[in-house]
A = this chain, B = another copy of it.
Amino acid sequence: MTISFDPNPATVNGQKEMHELAVQHMRPWSRKYDVQEHDMPWEFVNPMWERATGKGGAKLDAGPGDGMVTVCVQTEELCWGDAGLYLRSPSPLLGGSAVAAAGTPEQREKFLSPFRSGKPKWGAMAITEPQAGSDAAAIQTTAVFDEATNEWVLNGTKIFCTAGDGALNYEGGIVVVWATVDKTAGRAGVKSFVVTAGTPGIKVVGCEKKLGIRASDTATLILENCRVPANHLLGKSEVKKSGGDQGFKGAMATFDASRPIVAAMAVGVGRAALDFLKEELERQGVTIRYDAPPAQQTAIERDVIDMEAELQATRLLTWRAAKMLDRGQRNNLEASQAKAKAGLAVTKITQKAVELLGPVGYSQKLLVEKWMRDAKINDIYEGTQQINQLIVARRILDYSSSVLR
């Protein structure tokens, strides 16, 4: 153990690779798929899939002991490329995280191995419902066990399902659906189920038109008597009414792993804007002096320096939360700290970048305005700013969710 900011070689290599991918296969299509909102970006998907399946280069490989840090570094790089396209990566995404975290070895093999070969496929997680927001206890989608067929029968509506369209429309895709097996049990009754592409009874009824990350498909799903085999339930089926909501907490633990990644995504978008801003200012003859006293600074210099500090602060919080996972430490507090900071910081950084570039910043001729639109999602999904503040507050105050609401 030591305090060190020296990424290990695997991390550096992973970063370089992803940077190249971002430059070659993302940036050139950024505007196209911002405009063609719901089209599948094959120019990006195909090379990404080839790479992921080992055909297009080395597989993403984490450095020893720095697995999650490396994932964060790579994620930053890809979202520096394009956050919307990143979310359309042919990969298990959050659905995969859930299976990896809560599934049995058999489930992991069954649902994740298809992502290693064949045609591009997608994974997704379906949690949010029209009336539930961030409140898992309010989930209305039901799962009823049919003993006759040994199947779970799912009914309900899910919104804001990232990559849901890809997951259900391409063979081998999976959607992890949160549903309650017992509404009277609140959170303890919430379980997650894997629904595979092609399963009857689940359908995409539309994709949201969004402020940003328009390349990403944010689907609304309807489940009508959607039947999945018993072994598609992740975790245990029993509902512990007393003794709390361990199952739910397990589900929530997925967020402890995903929030650093989401924070890294934010950092990537923020860095895209900041990098471009600095390059553009340089082209215009404006250099940032790091040794000018405050009384001599220009307003632009101070803004840029503050943006750099904020971005780096966010990145370090992100890496810290990731590193704790690598160490096997509980990072619930730190993951939410990183996520809360990341959403807000990159929202401000990208908004400021547009402002500092003046009229040209506001124009669609550049991508900066797009990055501002893309960035804002980080303040909203995977728990809004407020939800993450709430989690952090409960932890630092040692308050339960019933005391601090």
Contacts and interface: CB of A to CB of B under 8 A. Distances in A.
Interface of A: 286, 294-302, 355-356, 358
Contacts of A297: 298-299
A286 B298 CA distance: 13
The 4 A-B pairs of least Cβ separation, nearest first, read: A299-B302, A297-B299, A299-B299, A298-B298
A302 B303 CA distance: 11
Copies of this chain, how many? 2
Contacts of A286: 295
Q: Which of A302, A355, A356 has the most CB of B within 10 A?
A: A302
Contact of A295 (B295, B302, B358): B358
A101 to B, nearest CB: 37
Contacts of A294: 299-300, 355-356, 358
Contacts of A302: 299
17 contacts: A286-B295, A294-B299, A294-B300, A294-B355, A294-B356, A294-B358, A295-B300, A295-B356, A295-B358, A296-B298, A297-B298, A297-B299, A298-B298, A298-B299, A299-B299, A299-B301, A299-B302
A170 B11 CA distance: 75
A294 B299 CA distance: 8
Given A286-B295, A294-B358, A299-B299, 14 more contacts: A294-B299, A294-B300, A294-B355, A294-B356, A295-B300, A295-B356, A295-B358, A296-B298, A297-B298, A297-B299, A298-B298, A298-B299, A299-B301, A299-B302
Contacts of A298: 296-299
Contacts of A356: 294-295
A297 B356 CA distance: 12
Nearest to A294: B299
Nearest to A302: B299
A359 to B, nearest CB: 11
A299 B297 CA distance: 6
Nearest to A301: B299
A283 to B, nearest CB: 14
A295 B294 CA distance: 17
A300 to B, nearest CB: 6
A349 B300 CA distance: 21
A301 B294 CA distance: 12
A320 B24 CA distance: 58
A308 B301 CA distance: 22
A300 B299 CA distance: 8
A379 to B, nearest CB: 21
A274 B300 CA distance: 23
A286 B296 CA distance: 10
A259 B296 CA distance: 39
Q: Which of A299, A301, A356 has the most CB of B within 10 A?
A: A299
Contacts of A296: 298
A296 B296 CA distance: 12
A194 B294 CA distance: 53
A302 B299 CA distance: 7
Contacts of A295: 286, 300, 356, 358
Contacts of A300: 294-295
Nearest to A298: B298
A296 B358 CA distance: 12
A358 B297 CA distance: 14
A157 to B, nearest CB: 29
A296 B300 CA distance: 8
Nearest to A292: B299
A284 to B, nearest CB: 9
A295 B299 CA distance: 7
A297 to B, nearest CB: 4
A297 B98 CA distance: 50
A295 B277 CA distance: 13
